[in-house]
Amino acid sequence: MQMNLSTIAQILHLQQTFVTDAVVQDVVFDSRKVTPNSLFVPLVAQRDGHDFVPQALAAGAVATLWQSDHPLPAGHHENYLVVDDPLSAIQTLSQAYLHEVAPKVVAITGSNGKTTTKDMIAAVLSQKYQVAKTPTNFNNEIGVPLTILQMAPDTQILVVELGMDRPGQLTKLSALVQPDIAVITMIGEAHIEFFGTRAKIADAKMEIVSSLKPSGLFIYNGSEPLLVQRAAAVTQKQATFGRASTLDIYPSTIQTYQTYTTFRINLVPEFEFRLPLMGDYNVDNALAAILVGKQFQVDFQKIQEALAHFQPTKNRTQWLQAQNGAQILSDVYNANPTAMIDVIQNFQKILTTGRRILVLGDMLELGEQAPQLHAEVAQAIDLQAIAQVYLYGSEMRALRDALPSQLSVQWYSRDQKVKLIQDLQEILQPQDLILLKASNGLHLDEVVQALQKSN
């Protein structure tokens, strides 16, 4: 981003002049991440960002937004841009910058797989174009404008992840980015606490097409009836992926291994694609990425190379090594029933001379259905494949009660994390495989880190 303060003031309809018309090169919400020539955006949340404006300016910010209902500090300078709402202002600014750079926009949402799919799509398109993408999971009303404003001026395609936890959120985000291609990975149970049914989740996910350009393309999982039904009302061009041979793209073969997955597709049977990830569910994400690449005329050979070497976001089915040599499968960034069952089933297929051990934590935001949905995970656990199960969190009591007595199961409350770590360090053997999966709020990443260190 390269934008003069006077230009920013003009975009925000501010009658303001500057002694020095500095160039803003970055936008920052966290005063600890301020760099020289950045614009600081104070938000009012658990802490009021206005309290950190002096710190941001001292660190090199050339200007700050300032919410109009906050009294201006005595002796303030010309670099305070007073607006009604800093978040709304930065969204307006991001739309102006998006219009200026004018990249094609690929927007992705879904209950599972959207971050991995985003990473795959960006890798595929980078074979031919200058690409910017959502960093980590900056996929909400704050993260999306930040993603836009951080893209380079020569960006040709912006790959942006859109998240949601309430109706109407994707309508606003879709309007913010005006996608040329909209992708829905799948419909699961994530956030069902707020929606009640998968059908209502599907309705909310479909909001991504509300600002899809008339000439745009809607790519979705055609194996999901809820999406197929709703896609009938979409007037833009469509393409489907999934497992059925009636879809536009589907896998003809899939082979899964501990650290990678290979597959072939109907469009180019002679090509074998390889993903640096375990799990056949990742093939669906790759199919969406292939369709996007095909739409932008990326050669299949280049797509093949991109998928083989793309870098997935940390803590998503990531293999690590414990201090004693045991193999850790860390998938602790997030969890919902579909994702948990998928990773357990794939984990159970991995060959090992040692034991397979599960460490599962609560899946959050499931509402009244939480006990049933946790208990149903029991159906995915193979007694012949899993040696021990460690459960962490109050919701996991439902899974504990659903598991058969012949399986070794230990349950821990959320104040017993230290005990969980100690027990795992005591029993873990060098030849073992251990899977850790939970919602991010359980912070099982701390358990992963502890297993990587000496006890």
Annotated binding-site residue numbers for ATP: 110-116
Alpha-carbon gap, residue 446 to 272, rounded angstroms = 37
Q: Angle, to 10 degrees, between the axis of helix 281-295 and the axis of helix 114-125?
A: 40
DSSP secondary structure code for residue 317 in this structure:
S
DSSP, residue by residue, 47-109: SBGGGGHHHHHHTT-SEEEEETTSPPPTT--TTEEEES-HHHHHHHHHHHHHHHH--EEEEEE
Q: Which helix (H) or strand (E) holds 291?
A: helix 281-295
Q: Give the helix/strand (H/E) hosting 24.
A: strand 23-24
Q: Is 378 exposed, middle or buried (0-12, 13-18, 19+ CB in 10 A)?
A: middle
Beta strands in 366-437 (DSSP E): 388-392, 408-412, 433-437
Six token digits for residue 193: 């606490």
Residues tagged in the binding site annotation: 110-116
For the chain, the residue count is 455
- For 346, phi then psi, to 5°, come to -75, -35
Cα(290)–Cα(242) distance, integer angstroms: 12
Q: For residue 27, which phi and psi values (nearest 5 degrees)?
A: -120, 130
